[in-house]
A and B are shown apart, each in its own frame.
Chain A
Amino acid sequence: MKPFTKMTGVVATMDRANVDTDQIIPKQFLKRIERTGFGKFLFFDWRYLDNHDLNPKFELNRPEFSGASILVTRRNFGCGSSREHAVWALTDYGFQVILAPTFADIFFNNCFNNGALPIALSEDEIETIFQKVEQNEGYQLTIDLEKQEISGDGGLSFSFEVDPFRRHCLLNGLDKISLTLEQEEKILAYEKAHDPSL
């Protein structure tokens, strides 16, 4: 996994609460057996019209959000299905950071396993970012995971917290399976203790 340390990018806003993973990546795209190439299907039902033209009313299709790598949205983002395809679609589209007041559990976990950073901020902080983006076309934020700080033009500065272990894994791009396999002796000991037939 690629390490995540610090990034600066254009912010796109999506003024919706409870965005579920069925919206992030609709089921008809879950039949693929690869991890890649999901970006073009991100938010498919909202993003495209029936004739497959871009839906001009959909937030992410606003021209100023082109090339955005930070998504700001409302509470309980990523609820519903456990499909990791949702994270694959977001990262393949170009999002590396998602800011929201709260996230659903499974989605939150899936982000870290793919080098994406979900950050929970207060409702007020999220609202401030929404306003900054509305007032400043092409508004950018810098996300510093090392310092756990978010900063942007106009004196915007918020701190955030990420669990220390997850932060360590992201900063160093660590592969969790390799880390666990270092505990092979303990796994084996557990198995022997619980299944004497081994």
Chain B
Amino acid sequence: MNISPDGESHSTISKPKEDASQTTECSQPKTMCQKIWENHVVHAPEGEQTLLYIDLHLIHEVTSPQAFEGLRLAGRTVRRPDKTIATPDHNVPTTDRSLPIIDQIAKQQIETLRQNCKEFGVRIFDLDDIRQGIVHIIGPELGLTLPGMTIVCGDSHTATHGAFGSIAFGIGTSEVEHVLATQTLPQFYPKTFELGIEGELSPGVTAKDLVLYLIGQIGTAGGTGYIFEYTGSVIRSLSMEERMTVCNMSIEAGARAGLIAPDQVTYDYIRGREFAPENFDEAVAQWKKLPTDVGATYDRSEKFFAEDIAPQITWGTNPGQVVDVNAKIPSPGDYSDEVDQKSAAQSLEYMGLSAGSSWQEVEVDRVFIGSCTNARIEDLRAAAAVVKGYKISSNVQAMVVPGSGQVKKEAEEEGLDNIFQEAGLEWREPGCSMCLAMNPDKLEAGERCASTSNRNFEGRQGRGGRTHLVSPATAAAAAISGHFVDVREWNYK
């Protein structure tokens, strides 16, 4: 929510009034972002950051220990433990949970989270709880994530929760400590960027392909300083899980948050979940006021067309380096900008790819289906449909890591675990796993992976590992074929 890292002064940005009641019913039309922002202003001193109230704070084992230690040293408490939820996810093993954790440092970090939650009275969904899982998967799944909220977490993929029409963004550990101590966070009013996507996605083109395409179009830093709002007929047609996949990767285009207006799809998803509001109809009436008003303006708007979007594969070492499955792998000379040319050359070298080759020639060693981007039940169904009746290529090792205990249970009730295992894919316990490879699930140097995760940075999945970001269906098809294919031509059994 900064607006200065790109060198622009925030003084040119219009700032909402401190007190929403000062504006009348017939006042200027507002964006959804503006409405949520105004509902959370605690204090807006002139020329300083606005103090925003935070409705939900999600924490995990990796970015919270130093924050709790800070509280302890200052003699502070957690102001609202009732608005704080913890779960271990980043470095938990995905193998048999009944066995002890071998990595002693990881074990200590998980144990530290438990102790901190106990000491400060924070609710934790621990490894023995079916509600444990990747923090961005369990928030929505439990009905904790609701429209109109402000949500933060010490994790950049907090943008996921924006799919419900909430301002949700990742923060650093100092800010985690700030929220624990005060339930507020000082923020600058962000710029807004509307990404309108019209038309209809073709069969075989998924929400993951859509968001990878958008990142490719606007670039890995194209959204810096902005909050995205995704609009248009394509977004309206997506399920909640697909919307979460789109919002999840907003940060990969540089935007800290990405929003989608709540609608009937949203309300139907939330209704009946464990922590959903008791007075549900009343809540829905409030949520219906959130969408951006007709006539409201964004700082920037771009239109995209679903017909232009094919299955996507990243070829480089940032998520903006992405092309269609039928495109050739680009060459540095395809870029006009000198910095981009150099980046492309560095990426191709690291990835061990030759410019001009086709994706069918690129063989994979590993396949990872999981992460906060693509480890919900619909993702697993899509991958299972592809592998059903097939065996994975003899050169490939593949794993499926469900996003939460509840996703795992649901998948097993549907028999997806059997479909995966019969095809030769490993079926694991929930966690972040090889998305960031903090736990033992990682690539060896030189290994090439088709991954449904969100980052293809150098070494992200293991030092020297080569990551290609794809949809669950494309990843599953690569596991069977041993190389990338156009999943639109897949022969489903």
Interface residues of A (CB under 8 A from B): 15-18, 20, 22-23, 26-28, 30-35, 45, 50, 74-76, 79-85, 87, 101-106, 108-110, 113-114, 118, 120-122, 161-166, 176-177, 179-181, 183, 186-187, 190-191, 194
Contact = CB atoms under 8 A, between A and B. Distances in A.
A101 B337 CA distance: 15
Nearest to A87: B172
A163 B221 contact: no
Contact of A22 (B74, B154, B182, B460): B460
A113 B106 contact: no
The list of the 10 closest CB pairs from A to B, nearest first, reads: A113-B174, A84-B172, A33-B65, A110-B172, A120-B7, A82-B170, A103-B5, A76-B221, A108-B5, A84-B173
Interface stretch (B260-268, B338-346, B351-359, B399-407): B338-346
Nearest to B223: A105
A177 B181 CA distance: 7
Contacts of A122: 7
Contacts of B437: 27
A117 to B, nearest CB: 12
B7 A22 contact: no
A190 B55 CA distance: 12
Given A84-B63, A161-B9, A108 B43 contact: no
Given A27-B438, A165-B48, A176-B186, A105 B63 contact: no
B271 to A, nearest CB: 22
Interface string B3-33: 0111101100000000000000000000000
Given A30-B438, A79-B220, A81-B156, 10 more contacts: A16-B343, A18-B221, A35-B173, A80-B457, A87-B172, A102-B7, A103-B5, A106-B171, A106-B256, A120-B4
Nearest to B68: A33
Given A23-B459, A106-B156, A75 B172 contact: no
A26 B463 contact: yes
Interface residues of B, number: 71
A14 to B, nearest CB: 12
Contacts of A81: 155-156, 436, 455
B178 A176 contact: yes
Nearest to A74: B339
B5 A105 contact: yes
B254 A79 contact: yes
A83 B188 CA distance: 20
Given A109-B175, A113-B172, A187-B42, A45 B224 contact: no
7 contacts: A31-B109, A79-B221, A83-B63, A120-B5, A163-B188, A177-B74, A180-B182
Nearest to A110: B172
B421 interface: no
B47 A187 contact: no
A15 B251 CA distance: 23
A17 B457 CA distance: 12
A110 B171 CA distance: 8
Q: Which of A50, A113, A163 has the most CB of B within 10 A?
A: A163
A75 B221 contact: yes
A27 B432 CA distance: 12
Interface in B210-239: 220-221, 224-225
Nearest to A23: B458
B51 A186 contact: yes
Contact of A45 (B109, B171, B458): B458
Contacts of B1: 105
Contacts of B69: 33-35
A26 B105 CA distance: 15
A101 B7 CA distance: 8
Contacts of A74: 339
B326 interface: no
A33 B342 contact: no
A17 B254 contact: no
B374 interface: no
B35 interface: no
B112 interface: yes
B235 to A, nearest CB: 23
Interface string B423-436: 00000000000001
Given A102-B7, A108-B5, A109-B172, A180 B51 contact: yes
Interface string B40-64: 0011000111010100000000110
Contacts of A104: 5, 221, 224, 254
B230 to A, nearest CB: 18
B2 A108 contact: yes
A162 B53 CA distance: 25
Contacts of B2: 105, 108-109
Contacts of A113: 172, 174-175
B314 interface: no
B451 interface: no
B140 to A, nearest CB: 19
B66 A28 contact: no
A56 B184 CA distance: 46
B372 to A, nearest CB: 12
Most chain B CB atoms below 10 A, which of A105, A161, A166, A194: A105
B481 interface: no
A22 B53 CA distance: 30
B453 interface: no
B170 A190 contact: no
B220 A18 contact: yes
B395 interface: no
A31 B105 contact: yes
A152 to B, nearest CB: 20
A33 B65 CA distance: 5
A31 B62 contact: yes
B391 interface: no
Interface string B155-197: 1100000000000001111110110011110101000000000
Given A161-B9, A180-B182, A31 B106 contact: yes
